[in-house]
Amino acid sequence: MAAMRYLNAKLAQQIDEELMSAAGAFSLDQLMELAGLACAQTLATVYNKEKYPRVLVCCGPGNQGGDGLVAARHLGMFGYKPTIWMPKPGSKEIYKRLQQQCTNMKIQTLEPSQDTQSLRTALASSDVILDAIFGFSFKPPVRAPFDAALPLIAQSGLPIVSVDVPSGWNVDLGKVDDLALNPDVLVSLTAPKEGVRQFKGRHFLGGRFVPKTLEEKFQLNLPEYPGISQIVELPRADGSADSQKL
């Protein structure tokens, strides 16, 4: 079978647009729901709620922040105690709705603030981080307040689950910035991006919504998802046996 395709930033953008075009027919609500669910399922697969109940969900200003909000809600449903840090909420109406849904789940969102004090406090009382700050549309450099936040997150020593592209990584080139996070777990969405080819941790794929027609058109050669799961674990980049497969 042909090898799975890694997407550069331009192609990732093109596929995203096609999914939501008249031909693809998906709404942002649908895709974000399934993407966020896959993120929550990945975190819960690796970090159980008994030992890691307190999840700090770090959300960026774009669509990946929305994935984070959806994930936070599902993590709440799974029995975790998530807290949301979203210092620069995007202006789209959907983020307000997703945040309201979290509020209805009694999930706390830290007050937006340009200083990092609330983040410091939250890190000190968290067990694991979901990094939904930057995704495939990230263009360097890392801007405030995230330039101050990424080192704090790294220094916390907490395990990190990154969504799609670890925050601070170049989507095409990988980990070339000193500010870049070094996550333990990665959940790629739709298909993995060029920059994460050398990622060494546990790597999952989510976004079980790519229709056959689109998979063929872009020759994605996606792996088979197991059973009714929304995620599939990928073999490690170092070629070691995938002994930890789902």
Would you tell me which residues interact with a second copy (CB under 8 A)?
23-27, 29-30, 33-34, 40-41, 44-45, 74, 76-78, 96-98, 100-101, 104-106, 208-209, 211-214, 225, 227-228
Among 102, 104, 106, residue whose Cα is nearest residue 132 = 102
Q: How far is the CB of 157 from a second copy (least distance, A)?
A: 26
Closer to a second copy at the Cβ: 4 or 179?
Answer: 4
Asked whether residue 115 is marked as a ligand-binding residue, the answer is no
Closer to a second copy at the Cβ: 106 or 139?
Answer: 106
Among 86, 194, 76, 88, residue whose Cα is nearest residue 131 = 86
Q: How far is the CB of 89 from a second copy (least distance, A)?
A: 14
DSSP state of 46: H
CA distance readout (Å), 230 to 37, 49, 61, 209, 226: 8, 19, 25, 9, 8
Name the burial class of residue 25, with classes exposed (0-12), middle (13-18) and buried (19+) by CB atoms within 10 angstroms of its CB: exposed
Closer to a second copy at the Cβ: 6 or 78?
Answer: 78
Q: How far is the CB of 126 from a second copy (least distance, A)?
A: 20
- Determine the Cα angle at 11 with ends 10 and 17, to 5°: 95
| Numbered residues of the known binding site for (6S)-NADPHX | 63-67, 135-141, 164
Residues marked as binding for K(+)?
64, 131, 167
